[in-house]
Amino acid sequence: MSGHLILGIDQGTSSSRALVYDHATNVVASAQEEFAQIYPRPGWVEHDAEAIWASVVSVVRSAVSDAGADHAGLSAIGITNQRETTVVWDRKTGRPVSNAIVWQDRRTADYCDALRAAGHEDDVAARTGLRLDPYFSATKLKWILDNVDGARPRAEAGELAFGTIDTFLIWRLTGGRVHATDASNASRTLLFNIHRQAWDTELLELFGIPESLLPEVLDCADDFGTSDASLLGGEVPILGVAGDQQAALIGQAGFEPGVTKSTYGTGCFVIANTGDEAVASRNRLLTTVAYRLGGKVTYGIEGSVFVAGSAIQWLRDALSIIDSAPETESIAAATGVVEDVFVVPAFAGLGAPYWDAHARGAIVGLTRGSGRNEIVTATLQAIAFQSHDLLEAMADDGLRPSLLRVDGGMVANDWLLQFLADILGIAVERPADTESTVLGAACLAALRAGVLSSLEDIGRARSVDRVFEPSMSEDQRERLVNGWHSAVARVSGANVTIP
């Protein structure tokens, strides 16, 4: 093994980041660059895959140079990425045939409805652990084949390649030598049979996808080829890949069944490790590949809340009642728990466990005494209430954690984490390094490189910053949760009786 550093690439929805770690997983250097979001029509979201690639090249070179290193200083590269986003490119030129269709894009909603009406949902869910929803890659891929000039015949002639962002980056990094993904990303495509760990022939037929488009599916710590010398002056092996939420679970050392992590960024994503059992949810949560190592699959159950940090951005940018996100902490601390005002941030409908695409936001319970401070505090509280509902749904599926590991940009907010512990009634644990996602990708690469010898090593490298213990009375907790559910009932026809 050469080098003494690991490069982690985090290709996210709004920015690309590169972090350089030493072999004790301390951050040595980092760089971040935003790229354009493309909204061609209401409900459509696209990225220019060339712009993504340019941003990745730029942050990689900048972070490696800031670390005072070059290719020779690096033992391995790990990649984590926005999941489900779909790219199709020409195998000869490497050029995308269209913009990438982003995970948030809803253009295939009618097609998903039609498949559901035709009775396909249970079968698709049994094979993939997912739901028939535009969120996942398959219907986006079909849209490209059906709508981009010449795409389908060229795909059928074997001229094109499909990939989620990890696959596209691996292709580009290796100069077109490797067409591969990992099992965690594959499990988000709606084409991958999570029980057999193979592309599902019946699903390829259902969605009309030629098999020749698909990448090879590897473990999360595996040999994904070497980066071309043109990137860093010499080749570096790519040894770790995982989708962003699964990578966060790994960065949080969530290796035992029952361990649950929640990432609070723009949205909020919870994954509970379910070990070698693929637990099918009774509450419309998703079953997913948490990671696959040495051919052995570890499953997870996942739920998402669409609006978390973006509600704080709304306070800042739409309402203009705060100047910056961190200000919410001092406002809430001075205001104290708000009992009668509830903000329901259903700006884009409600996710798990409600799945009500038609719900819209509301502020409920305003009186003449309610002002800016109450609205700001109630917005933070809403993030905890949404987490509560998700964890109750998981508990009904048999997964009730005794502790929640949290990460992401919002967890800098101590007041939020204390309120979260109070509402969940369990301890909330914040690690010293809250960038769990890219840390997870780097750990996978380090594992394959032999820098870390086992998952236990990853656990040992993780350190806890602070544990928030619940201290609210049961009475107050119940009052608040009941008040929240009444507020949700005002905006949604979905059944709000959480089991």
Is 132:124 a contact under the CB 8 Å cutoff?
Answer: yes
CA distances to 13, 167, 292, 322 from 154, in Å: 29, 19, 32, 52
Give the whole-angstrom CA distance, residue 345 versus residue 488.
10
Smallest gap from residue 433 Cβ to ligand ADP (A) = 13
Give the whole-angstrom CA distance, residue 449 versus residue 341.
52
What residue is closest to ligand ADP based on CB? 409
Give the whole-angstrom CA distance, residue 243 versus residue 220.
9
312 binds ligand ADP (CB under 6 A): yes
The token pair that represents 107 in the structure block: 């253009």
Nearer to ligand ADP, 56 or 214 (CB): 56
One of 176, 275, 409, 459 touching ligand ADP (CB under 6 A): 409
185 binds ligand ADP (CB under 6 A): no
Give the whole-angstrom CA distance, residue 481 versus residue 421.
13
Distance of CA 446 to the CA centre of its chain: 21
Give the whole-angstrom CA distance, residue 43 versus residue 256.
38
Nearer to ligand ADP, 112 or 248 (CB): 248
**Window 318-337: residues binding ligand ADP (CB under 6 A):** 325-326, 328-329
One of 8, 9, 11, 12 touching ligand ADP (CB under 6 A): 12
494 binds ligand ADP (CB under 6 A): no
Which of 238, 268, 273 shows the shortest CA–CA distance to 258?
273
Nearer to ligand ADP, 325 or 362 (CB): 325
Distance of CA 104 to the CA centre of its chain: 12
Nearer to ligand ADP, 137 or 413 (CB): 413
265 binds ligand ADP (CB under 6 A): yes
80 binds ligand ADP (CB under 6 A): no
Handedness of CA 112, 114, 115, 119 (dihedral sign): positive
Name residue 248's beta-bridge partners. none
Give the whole-angstrom CA distance, residue 191 versus residue 199.
6
One of 201, 230, 313, 482 touching ligand ADP (CB under 6 A): 313
> Which amino acid does the sequence have at 22?
D
Nearer to ligand ADP, 329 or 339 (CB): 329
One of 82, 193, 266, 377 touching ligand ADP (CB under 6 A): 266
181 binds ligand ADP (CB under 6 A): no
386 binds ligand ADP (CB under 6 A): no
Give the sheet arrangement for strand 427-431, strand by strand: 286-293, 296-305, 268-275, 260-264, 403-407, 427-431, 464-468
Write each residue from 411 to 430 as x if it is in contact with ligand ADP (CB under 6 A), else as -, in one continuous string: -xx-----------------
Nearer to ligand ADP, 39 or 493 (CB): 39
Nearer to ligand ADP, 15 or 476 (CB): 15
Provide the binding-site residues for ligand ADP, judged by CB under 6 A: 12, 14, 265-266, 309-310, 312-313, 325-326, 328-329, 408-410, 412-413
